[in-house]
Amino acid sequence: MSAARAPLPRWVDIVLIPIINIAMALFVSGLIILAIGENPIEAVGIMLQGAVGYDGGIGYTLYYTTNFIFTGLAVALAFHAGLFNIGGEGQAYIGGLGVGLFLLAFDSVLPFVFLLPLTILACAAFGGAWAFIPAYLQAYRGSHIVITTIMFNFIASALMVYLMVNILIEPGSMSPESRDFMESAHLPFVHDVLGGLGISMVATPLNLSVIWAAICCVLVWIYVWHTRWGYELRTVGQSEKAAVYAGVNPSRVVVVTMCLSGALAGFVGLNEIMGVHHRLLLNFTAGYGFTGIAVALMGRNHPVGVILASLLFGILYQGGAELAFEIPRMTREIVVTIQGLVILFSGALAYMARPWLERLFAMLHRSGSPAMERA
Amino acid sequence: MRKLWTLACATALMTAAGATQASDIEPAVVFDFGGKFDKSFNEGVYNGVERFKEETGIAYSDFEITNETQFEQAHRRFAQRGANPIVAVGFSQAGAVEAVATEFPDTKFTIIDMVVDLPNVQSVVFKEHEGSFLVGVLAAMASESGKVGFIGGMDIPLIRKFACGYVQGAKYANADVEVVENMTGTTPAAWNDPGRGGELAKGQFDRGVDVVYAAAGGTGIGVYQAAADEGKYAIGVDSNQNHLHPGTMLTSMVKRVDLAAYNSFMGAKDGTWASGVSALGLAEGGVDWALDENNAPLVSDDMKAKVEHAKADIIAGKIVVHDYMSDNACPS
Amino acid sequence: MPAEQSTTTGNPAGGAIPPPPAIRLKHISKSFGAVRANRDVSLEVAKGSIHGIVGENGAGKSTLMSILYGFYEADSGEIEIAGRPARIRNSQEAIGLGIGMVHQHFMLVDTFTVLENVILGAESGALLAPSKDQAARELARLENEYNLYVAPEALVGDLLVGERQRVEILKALYRGAEILILDEPTGVLTPQETDQLFRILRALRDQGVTVILITHKLREIMDVTDAVSVMRGGQMVAHRKTADTDKEELAELMVGRKVRLELDKEPASPGPTRLLAENVTVTDADGVPRLDNVSLTVHAGEIVGIAGVSGNGQSELLEVLSGIAKPSQGRLVLSGREVTAQAPVHPDEARKLGIAHVPEDRHRLGLVTSFSARESAILGYQGAARFNRGPILDGTAITQNCSSLMEQFDVRPPDPWLRSGGFSGGNQQKLILAREMSPHPEVLLVGQPTRGVDIGAIEFIHRQLVARRDAGCAVLLVSVELDEILALSDRILVMFEGRIVGELTGAEADERRIGLMMANAMDSSEHATAGSTMTEQAP
């Protein structure tokens, strides 16, 4: 049986609904801002100005965007295989550990040209390995991946605390951080690169991993839609029975996909450890893995959508920080509330407006068609 | 209602602006993950800067971070806007302070709990092991079961330093005492998880512990509540938390981070601010045990005498409390 | 287009003034977006008659009945029930007007008893017991009146399909239905069960119940209805008294052109054995044998039909032959490759051995409904060299492949980029057949090739299968449609509970003999179960 409402044109799905969702989120945020006695218009202005209005703001926004692209792609890729990877946080953490261990071992030995690709590999291997175990358990032992990946987030943070406090800590340091990597092992900052080209930009954490994020988007797009492995991955995600019929081994696809997903999430570690902090430390993942779920959801699991959603979240993060700087009464909690509302409206409630729109479009369609008789 | 708010806000801003002009300092503070209302470490700093504001009428800016990268961002933003001095709360900010202090050599920074060796940075560290030693003495003496507990936030060197001092104090008072140690978690959430704190405390009570010392930021609230519920003793940390549950709060290990922040602001205002490292222990009044009307009935003269004796011995150097951080180890 | 008006039919009461029709639909129209599912449909159904509605898939039968049962509201038009204008906005209102519906897929709770299912949603109070007593009395009455017996305390999950359907009918009657709508009720029944159902329907009619029977099987229309209405393309194209029409006319009205219902085919000339199964058993996860000691051969150039009611091991047979399942015991020889539990064949390998498989469940196995047609058209062949250039799928080749398949098999609309799920059943099936036939396989496994497929497409698919046979392909055909088995097969095997319970040549087979084989097997199996001995009885 067909749906009772008119199907929506594609542009409504892709453009109009997200805009409506964000508008609703901003409206409710506006009410909250009003309630604490601030001017919502001004607040939005500060957020936008802070996020995209000057070079430093843009740098921070893109730095956050880089992280969200990695975790968003990770969730999106797994989702195409019907897997819900909640473990981005842990995979990012362990991916960062891979970066850190590799650089601690080789930063004085290898030149940058060798270090960079090998670090990327180490990062992917560690992140992927962290996803491999839940994937294996799901594929061959029937443990649900949602549960195991959540567990592995906890295990990852416990492991990191143990390693940082007991083993990797710089001797004599009060803070559980490793020694700094040598200068030659730093992923160059964008402001340094631009400075070299004679363009001045204030210092921000934005580094060249943003380019790797863009490359990953292209690679994911090719992999999912233009290779036979991606074809098999999507078949498994849509119908496991059809996949078996088509000669695909769903268990293997689950394992391979999760490893790739974990590797993508792991690249947060590349950005944070090799790009920003230049030493191994705790808590650098800061919830990016979880936000990646919302990013993928909003971006409809497509790399282009993931980029756009990551930009939005980058703007929210950076704009939110600016808001907290500029308006003392906009505390951290209010900013988190606004971010949460955007996630709520564009993620969990993504389809709230849909039935109304469907009815609206059905009505427009009907009144547009001739010879209408009301029952 | 809204008008009133706006009015109040405007007035506050005007006063602040006026005061700033007069004194010519624009102090700022960057809080740690726990946030300024954690009833403990960060709130201690908050109380210190609030006191400064009350006394001088000089407003300050503040920022609570949500991720590691924001430390540097916050310091740089404050420095760019001419904030001076800037107080960094917590060891996690060392990297950020180091980077930004180098960029802005004319801006004064004060970092609490960590040493950053730059000419424009004042580092304030505390001898938490000494204070913890004293409350350890009290815990062991107050315990009837001979089992005392310790609940930390995250398993990091700083918290081990607390634990190590506490164990030494407890053993000093009662060589046979058994110390049960737990950490709340492995993420920054561990600093603000009263529910988990309560669970851990109850777990320790089930194992026979009857005095528990929490060094876990906001998580401690849950520990103290659990102790109050079960009629066991709890020991507060950083701020004087004796008032939270009079009758079951045995004492608090006071770490005067409020003083550190207050002194930094005041020093900048008076022109006496100086860079360098100050390590504040019992002798300097940087750490201490808290005795007030809330816990006076719980502390017998015997206990008081013993702990004051130990305090005098430490100040005199007769007792040397081992600092975990000196060699990343704790003598057992 | 004005529809021919029917005269009142089947009025057994034969009173002086004919009562108003049980249902009168006037000028009903309903659109879904741009799709006009019903256009100006008018219909009169006499009280106490069995009224058939025939039409191909997508002709608008289901939409019309959904409007009558309150799932949808018509965009325009009027409904009268027993002479009174009615507005039916939901199924509660439909039930209130005495309309009951038996869905194609039963809406029963397997873990409840018959009685509990019957009262479900019609409980008279918060406590179950009074409702149950009342319902038990009512069931007893219905049983006497309509000869409609099902043990009230039996668990629905334990019932046979025909019995479950009776529970659905009882449910409707219990709610006071005087108008009973049955949507494709015979699809899941054996011929014997179908006969039983029709007896019940006649009994209901004789008691004054109005029955609307939706079906695409013309034989059933001729067997049981008093009047018939034909729908095509959302419109009502004809109303006939059943006595005044025949299958050929109805088929022509349905399709809109002359249809040849009979299939001409030459006698088979079987060649060498292509597919061999010896004592093959397939056991499911619970250790229950789904396929029980099955032996069969299929030769090049013949069509072997597997007859049987759905769920008796046919699916497992197809799965084990195509490599999806592995045999627990026994051996297979597929194009010379020996397959056993120790040396199972992978679907990919089976395909390379020249075994093509048109699966029974085309929505879940045969294609991926969310994929574009061009992507579904390479399902199973995604690794083939002709679709790959190095690691990258060759988009141009894939699109061309799909276009050419669509052209050869007349798939409409011929748009490779359309979502697979957007095609009609017949066109989906043609696309799958095209995909599986195009590599010229040696063995073609075909499951339910015409389930939910329009008459026009059925004709085409049947011709393709025969053409493949004539070209030397070994065809194994599984179908629950006896007509189809009889029309196509050169040899017929009858399956029941995972076993092959009889074999007939195409020439000697007829519906009665096949039905008898199934029934015998059923009796002996019930006997065996009842006596709690599992001794095999020869049919």
Q: Quote the number of domains for chain A.
A: 1
The structural domain count of chain C equals: 2
pLDDT at res. C260: 64
Domain assignment present for residue A238? The answer is yes
Determine, yes or no, domain membership for B332. no
Instruction: State which residues form the domain around B230.
Output: 128-254+288-327
The minimal CB distance from C393 to the residues A228, A241, A245 is found for A228
Contacts of residue C74 in chain A, CB cutoff 8 Å?
Answer: 375
* Nearest neighbour of A231 by CB, restricted to C63, C71, C393: C393
CATH code: domain of residue A241: 1.10.3470
Locate C42 and state its tokens.
Answer: 């008018």
Q: Is C323 helix (H, G, I), strand (E, B) or coil?
A: coil
DSSP per-residue string spanning C428-456: HHHHHHHHHHTT--SEEEEESTTTT--HH
Q: Is residue C7 part of a domain?
A: no
Is residue A360 in some structural domain?
no
**Would residue C454 count as lying in a domain?**
yes
With DSSP H G I counted as helix, E B as strand and the rest as coil, what are the percentages for chain C, rounded to 5? 35, 25, 40
Q: What contacts B205, CB < 8 A, 6 or more positions away?
A: B149, B212, B226, B227, B230, B232
- Residues on chain A touching B160 (C-beta within 8 angstroms): 165
| Residues B190, B297 within the same domain | yes
Residue-level pLDDT at A6: 53
Q: What CATH number does the domain containing B301 carry?
A: 3.40.50.2300
Tell me the pLDDT band of B332, cut-offs 50, 70 and 90.
Answer: low
Q: What does the pLDDT read at residue C247?
A: 84
Nearest by CB to residue A375, choosing from C73, C367, C391, is C73
Question: For position C3, what pLDDT does the model report?
Answer: 43
- Tell me: do B59 and B201 sit in the same domain: no
* B203 contacts: CB under 8 Å, gap ≥ 6: B182
Q: Is 50 exceeded by the pLDDT of residue B22?
A: no
pTM above 0.90, yes or no: no
Identify whether residues C163 and C309 lie together within a single domain.
Answer: no
Q: How buried is residue A326: exposed, middle or buried, by Cβ count under 10 Å (0-12/13-18/19+)?
A: middle
CA B103/CA B118 separation, integer angstroms: 11
DSSP C89: -
Considering the domain architecture, whether residues B316 and B228 belong to the same structural domain is answered as yes
Sign for the pseudo-dihedral over CA of A30, A32, A38, A44? negative
Q: If you write DSSP's letter for every residue of B205-261 in order, what string do you get? A: HHTT--EEEEESTTHHHHHHHHHHHHT-EEEEEES--GGGSTTTEEEEEEE-HHHHH
A148-157 in b/e burial notation, b at 16+ Cβ within 10 A? bbbbbbebbb
The verdict on residue C267 lying in a domain is: no
**Dihedral-angle region of residue B67 (phi above 0 means left; psi in -120 to 50 means alpha; beta otherwise):** beta
d(CA A262, CA A270): 13
Across the A/B interface, how many CB contacts are shorter than 8 Å? 91
Name the residue among B6, B69, B188 with its Cβ closest to that of A276: B69
Residues B82 and B158 in one domain: no
> How does pLDDT run across C462-502, given as a tens digit for each residue?
999 999 999 999 999 999 888 888 889 999 999 988 899 88
Contact predicate C493/C306, CB 8 Å: yes
What pLDDT, on the 0 to 100 scale, is given for residue C210?
93
Residues B48 and B194 in one domain: no
pLDDT bucket at B1, cuts 50 / 70 / 90: very low
* C413: preceding bond cis by omega (within 30 degrees): yes
Best residue in C365, C386, C419, C435 to probe A by mutation, most A CBs within 10 Å? C365
Residue A135 domain-assigned (yes or no):
yes
Indicate if C321 and C467 belong to the same structural domain: yes
The two tokens of residue B297 are 């009935």
Q: Which domain holds residue C133?
A: 23-255
**Residues contacting C281, CB < 8 A, separation 6+:** C289, C291, C292, C293, C294, C327, C328, C329, C330
**Residue C249: phi, psi to the nearest 5?**
-65, -45
Instruction: Provide the CATH number for the domain around residue C169.
Output: 3.40.50.300
* Per-residue pLDDT, C128: 67
* Residue C201 shares a structural domain with residue C302: no
Residues C304 and C474: their CA atoms lie apart, in Å, by: 8
Going by C-beta distance under 8 Å and a sequence separation of 6 or more, which residues neighbour residue A39?
A: A33
Q: Is the pLDDT of residue B7 over 60?
A: no
- Indicate if B272 and B319 belong to the same structural domain: no
- In the structure encoding, which two tokens stand for residue C395, read together? 């988009």
| CA–CA gap between residue B217 and residue B193 (Å, rounded) | 9
Residue C250 shares a structural domain with residue C279: no
Residues B62, B178: one domain? Answer: no
Same domain? For C294 and C324 the reply is: yes
Beta bridge partners of C23: C45, C81
Task: Let me know whether C241 and C277 are in one domain.
Answer: no
A329 to B72: CB separation less than 8 angstroms, yes or no? no
Residues B250 and B265 in one domain: no
Token couple for A251: 């268990």
Q: Is C269 helix (H, G, I), strand (E, B) or coil?
A: coil
Please name the residue of chain B whose CA is at the shortest distance from the CA of residue A176.
B156
In chain A, what residues touch B67 (CB-CB under 8 Å)?
283-284, 286-287
User: Are B209 and B264 in the same domain?
Assistant: no
- Residues on chain B touching A32 (C-beta within 8 angstroms): none
Q: Are C146 and C207 in contact (CB under 8 A)?
A: yes
The set of residues, in sequence order, having a beta carbon less than 8 Å from that of B293 and lying 6+ positions away, is none
Same domain, C241 and C289: no
Structural domains counted in chain B: 2
Token pair for residue A68? 């969200």
Could you give the percent of chain C with pLDDT greater than 70?
Answer: 90
> What is the rounded distance in angstroms from the CA atom of residue A81 to the CA atom of residue A262?
14
Q: Which residue is it, tokens 């006649």?
A: C202
Residues C308 and C369 in one domain: yes
Q: Are residues C239 and C279 in the same domain?
A: no
* N-to-C CA span, chain A: 21
Chains touching B, CB cut-off 8 Å, 3+ pairs: A
Q: Do B275 and B292 have their domain in common?
A: no
The phi, psi pair for C422, rounded to 5°, reads -80, -10
CB-based contact (8 Å) between B74 and chain A? yes
pLDDT tens by residue, chain C, 539 residues: 444 444 444 444 445 567 788 899 999 998 876 678 888 999 999 999 999 998 877 788 888 888 888 888 888 899 999 888 888 888 888 888 899 988 877 888 888 888 888 888 776 666 667 777 877 888 888 877 777 778 888 888 888 777 888 888 888 888 888 999 998 888 777 777 888 889 889 988 988 899 999 887 888 888 899 999 999 888 899 899 999 998 888 888 888 877 666 677 888 888 899 999 999 999 987 888 889 999 999 999 999 999 987 778 888 999 999 999 999 999 999 888 899 988 999 999 999 999 999 998 888 889 998 999 999 999 999 999 999 998 899 999 999 999 999 999 988 888 999 999 888 778 888 999 999 999 899 999 999 888 777 777 888 899 999 999 999 999 999 998 888 888 899 999 999 888 998 898 888 888 778 878 877 776 665 554 443 333 344 33
Q: Cβ atoms within 10 A of the Cβ of A227, count?
A: 17
CA Rg value for chain C? 25
* Domain stop point among C255, C290, C322: C255
Chains that touch C (3 or more CB pairs under 8 A): A
* Alpha carbon separation from B67 to A274, A285, B70 (Å, rounded): 17, 8, 6
Same domain membership, residue B236 and residue B145: yes
Give the residue numbers spanning the domain of A248: 19-32+41-354
- Residue B276 parent element (H or E): strand B276-280
Peptide bond into C272 cis (omega under 30): no
Write out residues in chain A with pLDDT < 50, as ranges: 1-5, 369-375
Q: Is residue A14 part of a domain?
A: no
Question: Does residue A203 lie in a domain region?
Answer: yes
Q: How far apart are CA B78 and CA B81, in angstroms?
A: 5
Q: Which residues contact B175 (CB under 8 A, 6 or more apart)?
A: none
DSSP assignment of C365-428 = II--TTSBHHHHTTTT-TT-GGGEETTEE-HHHHHHHHHHHHHHTT-SS--TTSBGGGS-HHHH
- State residue B329's pLDDT score: 83
| Contact present, C50 and C215 (Cβ < 8 Å) | no
Comparing CB atoms, the residue among B70, B72, B156 nearest residue A165 is B156
Distance CA C59, CA C454 (A): 10
Residues C165, C35, single domain; the answer is yes
Q: Does residue C215 sit in the same domain as residue C317?
A: no
Q: Mapping DSSP to helix (H, G, I), strand (E, B) and coil, where does residue B296 land?
A: helix
Give the ranges where chain A is alpha helix by DSSP (H): 10-11, 17-35, 40-52, 55-80, 88-106, 112-141, 145-162, 190-196, 209-226, 228-238, 240-245, 250-269, 288-298, 303-326, 332-343, 354-368
A5 in a domain, yes or no?
A: no
C-beta of residue B140 within 8 angstroms of C-beta of residue B165: no
Instruction: Quote the pLDDT of residue A207.
Output: 95
Chain C residue with minimum CA distance to A7: C33
Q: Are C406 and C499 part of one and the same domain?
A: yes
Do B114 and B212 share a domain, yes or no? Answer: no
